[in-house]
């Protein structure tokens, strides 16, 4: 496997893993040995985060060694091969690094991959210690991204939380100068509601209990491809609130750099359809919105009850909104968040692939 993308710590971990496998009399390097190697690398980020989670490192090491130790250690200083499971872990580590916008694979990415691979002793021991993939990844994300922007610090974050509606500290004032603010978008201004502007002005309530979903939404939107998420849930569970939470995080710069300059605009489909008696009127409005979205890639369109797009404006042979939107989405020219119920998703959206 190409090691050019491995950090210095990961290369040392691989060396330690080889030593641990030989010491324990094992013929191949399994994920358990990778974890033991991580535990030996004292300055690794992975070990630092495990310590923050109050993991008993000595107990983890003892539990693993007890179950994999053989009678005789391997004396010859040879490079042992990676097991198929360990090869999968390293490949998944590369994916974890890409997902966290890192050019190098570091120890925290390997640790996440071990937990995600699941069918290994190392993951089971960590799970028993209360370490889960999703909680650990959220911890990495929260620690790394809020302070990645040049205009945002932990001190400013704490200050921002002390301000309620109508009181805007400097961090919010700075965000008004972002490239996405103040663009010429008359159609979207008329038929939409700028949620980031509402968050900036303190008109959105804080979102409680939806941090995981909001974080996942931000991760999907940061992808290069397949970056148009759909929120599915029963009425009243808080789908729209998750999008509002995203707008708040964008304003506070608690997202990845890719989302710093984004505007989240909620489309009011009822306003677009209202008063369109004649053929072509709705199409004209929809095309105006699409043109503005294509000219302003910093805008993320939110469509609540997205299933209502199917058939919307389809009068006297006109094309409905869904068919007008699909080509631009397929080409990646616009970004969109949808929200609908499970039944409506299956009926109107899933069959269309």
Is it the case that residue 151 has pLDDT exceeding 50?
no
Looking at the fold, whether 68 and 181 belong to one and the same domain comes out as no
Looking at the fold, whether 96 and 237 belong to one and the same domain comes out as no
DSSP state of 205: P
Give yes or no for a contact between 218 and 167, defined as CB atoms under 8 angstroms apart.
no
The kind and range of the H/E element at 64 are helix 57-68
Q: pTM for the whole thing? A: 0.50
Looking at the fold, whether 140 and 77 belong to one and the same domain comes out as yes
Looking at the fold, whether 193 and 337 belong to one and the same domain comes out as yes
CATH number at residue 192: 3.40.50.300
The angle formed by the CA atoms of residues 206, 212 and 215, to the nearest 5 degrees, is 80
Give yes or no for a contact between 102 and 223, defined as CB atoms under 8 angstroms apart.
no
- Indicate whether 158 belongs to any domain: no
- The residue-averaged pLDDT of 162-170 equals 38
Looking at the fold, whether 175 and 106 belong to one and the same domain comes out as no
Give yes or no for a contact between 336 and 264, defined as CB atoms under 8 angstroms apart.
no
Alpha-carbon distance 261 to 226, whole Å? 20
Q: Which of 141-150, 238-247, 250-259, 337-346 has the lowest mean pLDDT?
A: 141-150
Structural domain including 280 reads 168-352
Looking at the fold, whether 116 and 224 belong to one and the same domain comes out as no
Looking at the fold, whether 131 and 174 belong to one and the same domain comes out as no
Looking at the fold, whether 181 and 320 belong to one and the same domain comes out as yes
DSSP state of 79: -
- When comparing pLDDT for 35 and 146, which is higher? 35
DSSP state of 263: E
- Indicate whether 159 belongs to any domain: no
How many domains are there within the chain? Answer: 2
CATH number at residue 51: 1.10.1780.10
Q: Which of 24-28, 98-102, 307-311, 328-332 has the lowest mean pLDDT?
A: 307-311
Provide the token pair at 250: 């964008």
Is it the case that residue 315 has pLDDT exceeding 60?
no
- Indicate whether 160 belongs to any domain: no
In degrees and rounded to multiples of 5, residue 336 shows phi and psi of -145, 145
């Amino acid at each position: 496997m190409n090691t050019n993308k491995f950090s210095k710590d990961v290369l040392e971990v691989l060396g330690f893993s080889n030593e641990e496998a030989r010491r324990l009399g094992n013929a191949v390097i399994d994920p358990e040995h990778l974890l033991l190697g991580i535990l030996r690398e004292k300055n690794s980020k992975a070990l630092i985060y495990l310590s923050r989670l109050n993991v008993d490192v000595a107990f983890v090491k003892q539990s693993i060694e007890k179950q994999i130790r053989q009678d005789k250690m391997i004396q010859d200083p040879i490079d042992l091969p990676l097991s198929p499971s360990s090869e999968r872990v390293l490949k998944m580590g590369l994916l974890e690094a890409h997902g966290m916008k890192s050019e190098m694979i570091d120890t925290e990415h390997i640790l996440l991959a071990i937990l995600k691979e699941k069918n290994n002793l190392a993951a089971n021991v960590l799970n028993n210690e209360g370490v889960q993939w999703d909680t650990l990844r959220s911890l990495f994300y929260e620690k790394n991204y809020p302070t990645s922007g040049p205009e945002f610090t932990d001190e400013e974050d704490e200050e921002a939380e002390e301000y309620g509606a109508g009181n805007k500290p400097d961090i919010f004032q700075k965000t008004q100068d972002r490239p996405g603010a103040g663009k010429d978008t008359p159609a979207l201004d008329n038929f939409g509601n700028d949620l980031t502007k509402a968050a900036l002005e303190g008109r959105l309530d804080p979102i409680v209990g939806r941090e995981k979903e909001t974080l996942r939404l931000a991760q999907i939107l940061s992808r290069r491809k397949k970056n148009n998420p759909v929120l599915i849930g029963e009425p009243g569970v808080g789908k729209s609130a998750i999008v509002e939470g995203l707008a708040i995080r964008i304003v506070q710069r608690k997202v990845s750099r890719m989302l710093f300059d984004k505007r989240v605009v909620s489309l009011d489909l009822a306003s677009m359809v209202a008063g369109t008696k004649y053929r072509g009127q709705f199409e004209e409005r929809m095309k105006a919105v699409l043109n503005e979205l294509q000219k302003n890639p910093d805008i993320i369109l939110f469509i609540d009850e997205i299933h209502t797009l199917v058939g919307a404006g389809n009068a006297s042979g006109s094309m409905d909104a869904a068919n007008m939107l699909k080509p631009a989405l397929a080409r990646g020219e616009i970004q969109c968040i949808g929200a609908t119920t499970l039944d409506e998703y299956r009926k109107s959206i899933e069959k269309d692939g």
